[in-house]
Amino acid sequence: MVQPSFSHPRAESSSSSASTSPTAALDTFLDNQHQSYFEELYKSEAVCLCILRSLPPVCRHIILHHLWSHQPLRTTEVKSFVQMDIKTSLEEVDEVMKPALKRKILHPMILKKGKNIWLSNDAFKKGLRNVLTGLGTSNSFGVPFDREDDMEVPSQEELIAYGEEAFEGILKYMVSSGLGIGFSVALPQPEVLELLHISGLMIDPSDATGQRPNLNRMTITSKGFQFLLEDRQTQLWEILMYYLNAKEANSERSAEVLSMFFTLGCMQLGQDYSASRSFPHTLSALNDLAQYGFIYRPSPDADQFYPTHLATALCSGDAATNQGQDADEKRFLILETNYKIYAYTSNELEIAILNLFVDIRIRYPNLVVGKLDRKNVKSAMEKGISANQIIAYLSSHAHPQMYNSPPPLLHPTIVDQLHLWDRERNRLKMEDTVMLEFFSKELFEDTVNEATTNAALQLSVPAQKFLFIEPQTKAAITDFVKERQNQLRSGF
């Protein structure tokens, strides 16, 4: 049996988390788009700025380095800039600029007058230059609303509270549907429910076909549970990408909507903007976003709107949503080596999420005490939550006190135990198979070889000369066995 190796749980989790940035959903979406889609996007300066910032630092600085040059970017230039040997292969240099090529900021490398060059995308270059100089004309940073002086202006705290309430309302609804525990939650808007259904975060268990769900009786799926454990920015981008994909599925143009997301991300919290002038083509999408708490409208049909922190923090890269006043609120967990968890929170949503994998024993007004035990963790894993997700959740919500002990943040005992529980679940695997029994050792060995080369082998037991193969390869293997048998016999 293969021994599970947890000697480097850190290395393992770091490699898995390296691939998941908050904008992973966005990245996969953009990776699948074509040149024309980007041409459309880069008309907006806000998009150029956000895409530039999403590039890895080396690539980003090469682009900025080259921004004001009239010449195309030469490979020799990049090589000398990043201290590569002049004889380095072109593929390796291309690899450096890969992120920019994928975002169509540079055109693929060509050979011109004996020099290998990348031509830059003029739309992007022009857009980025306009960002820096402020000379654009596309109103991509939002047109402010001309309000009268006596109008009431909501404070930043009010906007944050509004956004939190709206978005957490949706999350609470998802949690409560899964746990069946009763804290009263308002039913989200029908459009929101529909998106939750389309995205596969929630399903109607009574609806077998998945075609005509009853939106009011949906329950959360394992994908939905995983979604709940993500950090806020990842959740926001995932929701937006589900929304965008739904739009695409209805064969609507999504480039303008996507560019609106970026514009919202570049807006300023506490400033009001004019909807009709900022987004003349995507007003309906803006209305949809209001249901998730991305924007606040003083009155439902007013032209004036305020972006909330959900919108303005969209593009702020790494964990900027954790900064500010809700950073401390999010760091409330103390995990002891005896599996006890103390959560200093009174947030219903966080308690409900904890309840997914923690056996909650005591509740005080601002403190919840519970224990990680096998039963609850395994029931969470049944729901599709992986050990890595639980670990990520625990470490991202760790109380500042936890940082006072020497790293690692979470004690290895607990991390290992969670992994073990995860493995336990996968100890047995059921598969259909066909068993062949042999009497001749020679024939058995030949068949094993044949099955291995055709990837049909599941298990071989040489002692008893048993062979287990994939059911769909049965005919082919038996044919082979017969043929081989004849050959062997005729050989004698």
Question: Nearest approach, Cβ of 330 to other proteins (angstroms)?
Answer: 9
Do 169 and 185 touch, CB atoms closer than 8 A?
Answer: yes
Instruction: Tell me how far apart the alpha carbons of residues 461 and 447 are, in angstroms, rounded to a whole number.
Output: 12
Total Cβ atoms within 10 A of residue 247: 18
Are the C-beta atoms of 305 and 275 separated by less than 8 Å?
yes
* Of the candidate residues 13, 199, 235, 345, the single one contacting other proteins (CB under 8 A): 13
Binding test (CB under 8 A) with other proteins, winner from 4, 7, 35, 65: 65
**Residue of 4, 7, 36, 64 that binds other proteins (CB under 8 A):** 64
What tokens were used for 327? Answer: 């950073």
CA–CA distance, 168 with 380 (Å, rounded to integer): 21
Of 255 and 266, which has the nearer Cβ to other proteins?
Answer: 266
Write out the DSSP string of 232-250: HHHHHHHHHHHHHHHHHHT
| 408 is an interface residue for other proteins by CB under 8 A | yes
> Where in 178-207 is the site for other proteins (CB under 8 A)?
none
Regarding 259 and contact with other proteins (CB under 8 A), the answer is no
Q: Does 210 bind other proteins (CB under 8 A)?
A: no
Bond prior to 99 in cis (omega within 30° of 0): no
CB of 143 to other proteins, least distance (A): 4
Question: How far apart are CB 404 and other proteins at their closest, in Å?
Answer: 7
Using CB under 8 A as the binding rule, whether residue 18 contacts other proteins is answered as: yes
Least separation in angstroms between CB 345 and other proteins: 17
Provide the minimum distance between the beta carbon of 407 and other proteins in the complex, in angstroms, as a whole number: 5
Binding mask 97-136 for other proteins (x = CB under 8 A): -------------------------------x-xxxxxxx
- For residue 146, the minimal CB distance to other proteins (Å) is 9
Which residue, 92 or 479, is less far from other proteins as judged by CB? 92
Q: Which residues within the stretch 433-472 sit at the binding site for other proteins (CB under 8 A)?
A: none
Q: Give CA–CA dist 222/383, Å, rounded.
A: 5
Q: CB-wise, 277 or 340, nearer to other proteins? A: 277
299-338 footprint of other proteins as x/- string (CB under 8 A): ----------------xxxxxx-xx---------------
Residue 474 three-state SS: helix
Pick from 6, 67, 154, 340 the residue near other proteins by CB under 8 A: 67
**What is the C-alpha separation between 319 and 249, in angstroms, rounded?**
31
Q: CB 121 → other proteins: shortest distance, Å?
A: 17
CB of 439 to other proteins, least distance (A): 53
Give, as ranges, the residues between 69 and 98 that touch other proteins (CB under 8 A). 69, 80-83, 92, 95-96
- Give 3 or 404: the residue with its C-beta nearer to other proteins: 404
Contacting other proteins within 386-405 (CB under 8 A): 391-392, 395-396, 398, 400, 403-404
Contact between 283 and other proteins by CB under 8 A: the answer reads no
Residue 129 CA, chain-centre distance (Å), reads 31
Helix (H) or strand (E) run with residue 333 in it: strand 333-335
Least CB distance from residue 258 to other proteins, whole Å?
A: 18
For the bound state, the minimum distance from the C-beta of residue 89 to other proteins, rounded and expressed in Å, comes to 12
Q: Tell me, what amino acid is at 142?
A: G
- The answer to the question of residue 45 lying near other proteins (CB under 8 A) is yes
How far apart are alpha carbons 28 and 39 in whole angstroms?
Answer: 18
251 φψ region: left (φ > 0), alpha (ψ -120 to 50), beta (else)? left
Residue 374 CA: distances (Å) to CA of 179, 221, 343, 384, 396: 18, 21, 19, 15, 22
Joined together, the tokens standing for residue 349 give 């949503």
3-state secondary structure 52-108: HHHCCHHHHHHHHHHCCCCCCEEHHHHHHHCCCCCCCCHHHHHHHCHHHHHCCCECC
| Sole binder of other proteins in the list 116, 235, 278, 308 (CB under 8 A) | 278
Q: Can residue 21 be called a binding residue for other proteins (CB under 8 A)?
A: yes
Q: What is the C-alpha separation between 461 and 121, in angstroms, rounded?
A: 60
Nearer to other proteins among residue 103 and residue 197 (C-beta): 103
Q: How far is the CB of 174 from other proteins (least distance, A)?
A: 20
Q: How many CA atoms lie within 13 A of 352 on its CB side?
A: 22
How many binding residues for other proteins (CB under 8 A)?
77
Q: Which of 6, 39, 143, 223 binds other proteins (CB under 8 A)?
A: 143
Nearest one of 166, 165, 185, 189 to 176, comparing CA atoms: 185
